[in-house]
């Protein structure tokens, strides 16, 4: 059965944090394991706070986040979306656990509503589409200002100082088939080092429903990152205003 995992190009720079164990686990799925079985096989080396189970294990009428919190089991469908969600649990276990707790706290306050409130909306955007930025103030300020010429051309050499990690599993899924408009919601981290474990610990300590309700994100067209896409070596790449949009007027 084709799951889409066979189309992942593990050599793309944005997947570098996930090559281990992702590539091996994708091969296990291709060889016949379910995604849940493959992800569970990595738990000895990547002690995530959940085990993975088929989606059918989620009781009818029970909220997904509540089930994970109560049981320690993560329902997992076959396909790219839930596979990347599992890889995020393995790689950023503290951040994922914190998000699960914050979701549950919001559900306890408001119940399951037809339309998510600002906090749950922010939590969902973060979980699905966030990227983490660790780097110089001058680059962050240019990103927030959407000053694309300064960010990607004038200050291009300073990107060597940046650690940018794509976290959101929907974002990683979209980038299996890269397109210029794909945009990440970037959250700035002040982790002590570029190590993934330090970034994970910092994020878990920093995140709150109040912060995420305020949508503290900068918008980054991912293929504009220097070194991530061959075409962006030409400064004209950034002249496409349908992707690299000017900031909104106040």
**Mean pLDDT score of the chain:** 95
Q: How does pLDDT run across 74-108, given as a tens digit for each residue?
A: 999 999 999 999 999 999 999 999 999 999 998 88
Q: What is the pLDDT of residue 29?
A: 97
Q: What is the pLDDT of residue 204?
A: 97
Q: How far apart are CA 109 and CA 132, in angstroms?
A: 28
Rounded mean pLDDT, 17-36: 97
Asked if residue 195 has pLDDT above 90, the reply is: yes
Asked if residue 230 has pLDDT above 90, the reply is: yes
Total Cβ atoms within 10 A of residue 33: 15
Q: How far apart are CA 87 and CA 15, in angstroms?
A: 11
Asked if residue 199 has pLDDT above 70, the reply is: yes
Q: How far apart are the first and last CA of the chain?
A: 51
Asked if residue 114 has pLDDT above 90, the reply is: no
Asked if residue 163 has pLDDT above 60, the reply is: yes
Asked if residue 113 has pLDDT above 80, the reply is: no
Q: What is the pLDDT of residue 95?
A: 98
Provide, rounded to the nearest whole percent, the portion of the chain with pLDDT above 90. 90
Rounded mean pLDDT, 178-195: 97
Asked if residue 248 has pLDDT above 90, the reply is: no
Q: What is the pLDDT of residue 120?
A: 86
Query: pTM of the entire structure?
Result: 0.95
List CB contacts of 20: < 8 A, sequence separation 6 or more: none
Asked if residue 128 has pLDDT above 70, the reply is: yes
Rounded mean pLDDT, 141-169: 98
Q: What is the pLDDT of residue 241?
A: 96
Query: Alpha carbon of 105 to those of 58, 89, 100, 167: distances in Å?
Result: 19, 19, 9, 22
Domain coordinates in residue numbering, the chain: 12-117, 124-239
Asked if residue 111 has pLDDT above 80, the reply is: no
């Amino acid at each position: 059965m084709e799951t889409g995992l066979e189309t992942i190009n593990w050599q793309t720079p944005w997947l570098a944090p996930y090559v281990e164990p992702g590539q091996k686990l994708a091969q296990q799925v291709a060889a016949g394991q379910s995604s849940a079985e493959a992800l569970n096989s990595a738990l000895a080396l990547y002690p995530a706070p959940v085990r993975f189970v088929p989606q059918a294990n989620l009781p009818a009428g029970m909220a997904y986040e509540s089930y994970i919190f109560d049981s320690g089991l993560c329902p997992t469908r076959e396909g790219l979306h839930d596979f990347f969600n599992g890889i995020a649990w393995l790689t950023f276990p503290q951040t994922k656990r914190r998000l699960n707790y914050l979701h549950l706290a919001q559900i306890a306050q408001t119940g399951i509503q037809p339309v998510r409130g600002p906090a749950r909306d922010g939590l969902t955007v973060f979980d699905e589409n966030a990227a983490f930025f660790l780097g110089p103030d001058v680059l962050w300020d240019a990103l927030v200002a959407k000053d694309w010429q300064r960010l990607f051309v004038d200050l291009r050499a300073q990107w060597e100082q940046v650690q940018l990690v794509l976290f959101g599993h929907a974002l990683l899924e979209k980038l299996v088939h890269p397109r210029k408009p794909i945009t990440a919601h970037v959250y700035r981290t002040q982790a002590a080092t570029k190590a993934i474990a330090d970034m994970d610990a910092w994020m878990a300590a920093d995140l709150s429903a109040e912060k995420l309700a305020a949508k503290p994100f900068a918008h980054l067209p991912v293929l504009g990152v220097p070194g991530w896409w061959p075409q962006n070596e030409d400064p004209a790449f950034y002249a496409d205003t349908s992707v690299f949009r000017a900031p909104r007027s106040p």
